[in-house]
Amino acid sequence: MDDHVVAQAIDLTKVYGDADNRVLALDHVNVEFERGQMTAIMGPSGSGKSTLMHCMAGLDQPTSGKVIVEGLEVSAMNQRQLTKLRREQIGFIFQSFNLVPTLSAEENILLPLQIAKKPIDRAWFKQVVSVVGLEHRLKHRPSQLSGGQQQRVACARAMMARPSVIFADEPTGNLDSHSSREVLGFLKQSVQQYGQSIVMVTHDPRAASYADRVLVLADGNITQDLRHPSYDRILEVFADEGNEDGDAEPNA
C-alpha cells in the first residue's frame, strides 16, 4: 500500500441475510482513502454508507474482499487483533456523541488512553483541548454541556490517541447549524494542521463541502468520486435529496 493511502477497500463485498432474503449492501467496492485528507461518504439511505464505514473500521466483517488499514489486513484479524486495532489506530465520532455520562469532559477525552493503558501526552492534550475550545469545560459532565460542546469532547477524545484515521458517522446529525460549523471547522483544522485522516459519513451537503473528497454511494457501489467539490456541485449531485440547513461552505 502506498504511503499516501491510510486505508483501502479491495473488492469489498457485504451481503446480509440468507438466500431468500439477500441484501447486497456493498458490491465489490474498491477505494483508497488518502492520508491527511477528509473524505466524505454520501448517498441515499440504504446505499451502504454505514456498512462501508463499519467494515473499514473493523466493526463488521466483509463477506468477501479485503480491508487494509495502515498496511494491516483488518478483514483477516481475530477479535483480539480487532480490539487492538480499534484502540490504537482508529478514532470514532458518532452522531449521538457516545460520552460516558458519569465522567467529566476531561475524563471522557482521556478514557480511551486509560483503557489502552497508554501514557497521556499532556502537551498534546492541552493542544487538542484548546483547538476545540474546551479549556473552561473540562470539569463539566456531558449533561452540563450543549450538544455542540459534547461533540467537541467526542472530537477531542477521537484525536487524543493520534489515530491513523478517524471514522465519523453523521457527526453533525444531532447539531444545529452553528454547532455543526464549529465541529466541522475543528475536524478540518485537525486535517490541515495535524495531518489527521478523516472518513465521514454524512447526509448533509454542507458538511460534505468541508471535505477534500466526496464519494457517492448508490446500491453498494461508488458512483461518484469528487475532488474538492463546491457546495453547489454537491447539491447538483444530490438535486433529488432532502437536505438539512446550515451555512458556510469552505469549498464554495
- When asked if residue 229 is in the footprint of ligand ADP (CB under 6 A), the reply is no
Smallest gap from Cβ 164 to ligand ADP, in A, equals 23
CA-CA distances (angstroms) from residue 204 to 59, 88, 196, 208, 218? 24, 29, 21, 6, 16
Our CB check for ligand ADP shows the closer of 94 and 194 to be 94
- When asked if residue 49 is in the footprint of ligand ADP (CB under 6 A), the reply is yes
Stretch near ligand ADP under the rule CB under 6 A, chosen from 15-23, 149-157, 185-193, 222-230: 15-23
Nearest partner of 202 among 233, 238, 227, 228, judged by Cα: 238
- When asked if residue 95 is in the footprint of ligand ADP (CB under 6 A), the reply is no
Kindly tell me which residue out of 8, 39, 51, 190 binds ligand ADP, with binding defined by CB under 6 A: 51
- When asked if residue 46 is in the footprint of ligand ADP (CB under 6 A), the reply is yes
Residue 240: partners with Cβ closer than 8 Å, 6 or more residues away: none
Our CB check for ligand ADP shows the closer of 17 and 195 to be 17
Kindly tell me which residue out of 9, 25, 214, 226 binds ligand ADP, with binding defined by CB under 6 A: 25
- When asked if residue 62 is in the footprint of ligand ADP (CB under 6 A), the reply is no
- When asked if residue 223 is in the footprint of ligand ADP (CB under 6 A), the reply is no
Smallest gap from Cβ 221 to ligand ADP, in A, equals 12
- When asked if residue 16 is in the footprint of ligand ADP (CB under 6 A), the reply is yes
> What's the grid cell of residue 181?
460549523
- When asked if residue 17 is in the footprint of ligand ADP (CB under 6 A), the reply is yes
Stretch near ligand ADP under the rule CB under 6 A, chosen from 47-55, 80-88, 94-102, 244-252: 47-55
Q: Site residues (CB under 6 A) for ligand ADP?
A: 16-17, 23, 25, 43, 45-51
